[in-house]
Amino acid sequence: MKDLKPIIKSLIREKTGPLLLLLQIAVTYTVLVNAVFMLLQKHEEIHVSSGLAESELFWFQMSLHGEPEEMKASLFRDLEAIKSLDTVKNAVTLNSIPFSEWGVGHEIRLDRNAEGFITKAAFYTGSHDAAETLGLKLIAGQGFELSDERRLFDFGLDTPSGIVISKALAEQLYPLDWQQVLGKTVYLNEDAQVVKGVVEHLIGPWSYWENSNYNVLFSTATVSSEVFLMIRIQGESAKQSMQDVMRIVMQEPNRTVDHLEMLTESRASAYRSQVAAYSTLKAVVIGLALITMLGVFGQARFAILKRRKQIGTRRALGASRIAIVRYYLLENAVINLIGIALGMVLAIVANNLLISHFNLLPVPSIYLFYGSVIIFGAGTLAVVQPAIRAASISPSEATRSV
């Protein structure tokens, strides 16, 4: 630490060189902190829990033909046949599919006559055992029984048969104690339904929707010319299961099938732009760390070249190699720390600009710490080689005049 004073003195004397490095570190720090924060936010967004057994589920859309009753008969005939397959654990029909970007939403109210609505929520309706098949976890109340299932050509919301909602929606409706929602009447647009159960997680059809965690489950299997089927596989081979299901489905003449994909694929395509942004941010963070290292490395290396004679003199006067390395590491640490301190101020300013221009969330202060660690680590790593080089300068440099 006795080196600290001469280091600070020489930094003040040198001014521009260290100042530039310091500025560079500050700017890098600013970008880094904001980028790392956005990176982790994206990470959270992409890896949000869906509540579904994604890797065991696939779905497709198929056409139904003929008169309404024929359509209905054909749908349930096929469903029964699919359920009896060895490679299928269960099969249900649903009006819309998570991540598929197609679905139905309702305005949610607790008071029918309220002017505004509390929130909007996506609406899933289908076979009575849809929740179990999807892998949803019931955490309060009860789910649907076979006796709840109705098979209609519309949603049948005018018949009160109860709904199951996601916990996120329950918390939105009753912020103080979400369990209160059980047994309460909720209005979906105009239609009154009683909440009979709550599931832990359920993701909506639109990944980008702000309300994607607010979802309602209902037990009307709706029949129309195009229906969605969701299959939970039995055993290891999803491919085998898909083949078996398609064999049954395609026995019907005129039948057309669309999509046919694993829910994991649907998730990947729903989030691909976020994933892409995530990769870009990752590249930015890595690039920044590299540039900082390059800057510190270049700066230190040439500072040492410039000071060969001075270092030689120190060595001649009895400084050990360790002392020389220590001197440069310390000098670098001082610049880094001042740079980071300045960077913190800039980062907060930049973050405020981002918040006001792009409606981003404020960076939690822990990220300032993460950024400091990355920059300080990269900077220190980069100065090691030049410092060791400096230490190997021979004391005889001191006496060499030209």
Partner 1 sequence: MLRYYFKLAFISLKKTPLLSFLMIATIAIGIAATMVTYTVHYMMTQDPVPGKSDRLFTVHLSSWDPNVSYKLKDGKEDIPIFMTYQDATNLYADKKADKQTIISFHKTMMRAAEQPSGMATMTYLRPTTHEFFSMLDVPFLFGSPWSASDDSQGNPVVVLSKKKNQQLFRGENSLGKEVLIGGVLYRVVGVLDEWTPLPRFYTTRSEAFREPRGVFIPFQSSIQNNWSLSTDGSVYCWGEVDFVDLESVKASECVWLFYWVELSSAEQREDYLAYINRYAQEQRAMGRFQREQMNRILNVAEYIEYNEVVRKDGRIAIWLSAAFLIACLLNCMSLMMTKFHGKGAEVGLRRAIGASKVNIAWQFSCETVIVGVCGGVIGLLLAQLGLQITAQVYSHLHTELMEMNLELVIMTLVLSVFSSSLFGLYPIYRACQIQPSSHLKSL
By beta-carbon proximity to partner 1, the closer residue of 65 and 239 is 65
Burial grade of 291 (CB within 10 A; 0-12, 13-18, 19 or more): middle
Pick one of 273, 385, 394, 396: the residue that binds partner 1 (CB under 8 A).
Answer: 273
Stretch that binds partner 1, among 100-108, 121-129, 322-330, 386-394 (CB under 8 A): 100-108
63, 255 Cβ separation under 8 angstroms:
yes
Which residues, other chains included, contact 130 with Cβ-Cβ below 8 Å and sequence gap of 6+? 92, 94, 124, 144, 217, 219, 230
36, 233 Cβ separation under 8 angstroms:
no
Token pair in block for residue 266? 């649907």
Tell me how crowded residue 163 is: count the other CB atoms within 10 A of its CB: 24
Inter-CA distances, 138 with 90, 165, 310, Å: 18, 10, 74
In which residue are the tokens 């690039």 written?
A: 287
Stretch that binds partner 1, among 51-59, 173-181, 291-299, 386-394 (CB under 8 A): 291-299
279 touching partner 1, by CB under 8 A: yes
Burial grade of 400 (CB within 10 A; 0-12, 13-18, 19 or more): exposed
Stretch that binds partner 1, among 85-93, 161-169, 268-276, 381-389 (CB under 8 A): 268-276
By beta-carbon proximity to partner 1, the closer residue of 103 and 162 is 103
388 touching partner 1, by CB under 8 A: no
By beta-carbon proximity to partner 1, the closer residue of 301 and 321 is 301
At closest approach, how far in Å is the CB of 318 from partner 1? 26
Measured distance CA(356)–CA(365) in Å, rounded: 18
87 touching partner 1, by CB under 8 A: no
Binding mask 231-260 for partner 1 (x = CB under 8 A): -------------------------x-x--
269 touching partner 1, by CB under 8 A: yes
Token pair in block for residue 231? 């299959």
4, 334 Cβ separation under 8 angstroms:
yes
Inter-CA distances, 218 with 94, 163, 222, 367, Å: 10, 5, 11, 42
Size of the site for partner 1 (CB under 8 A): 58
Site for partner 1 in 146-165 (CB under 8 A): 153-154
Pick one of 117, 174, 209, 370: the residue that binds partner 1 (CB under 8 A).
Answer: 117
Pick one of 302, 373, 392, 396: the residue that binds partner 1 (CB under 8 A).
Answer: 302
350 touching partner 1, by CB under 8 A: yes
Strands 215-218 and 119-125: parallel
By beta-carbon proximity to partner 1, the closer residue of 47 and 272 is 272
At closest approach, how far in Å is the CB of 287 from partner 1? 6
Among 88, 18, 107, 23, smallest CA distance to 339 is for 23
Quick one: how far is CA 378 from the chain centroid? 26
At closest approach, how far in Å is the CB of 39 from partner 1? 11
User: What end-to-end distance do the CA atoms of the chain give, in Å?
Assistant: 33
By beta-carbon proximity to partner 1, the closer residue of 365 and 401 is 401
Pick one of 230, 288, 340, 390: the residue that binds partner 1 (CB under 8 A).
Answer: 288
Q: Which residues bind partner 1 (CB under 8 A)?
A: 16-17, 20-21, 23-24, 27-28, 30-31, 34-35, 38, 61, 101-102, 107, 115-117, 153-154, 224-226, 256, 258, 269, 272-273, 275-277, 279-280, 284, 287-288, 290-292, 294-295, 297-299, 301-303, 305-306, 350, 354, 358-360, 401-402
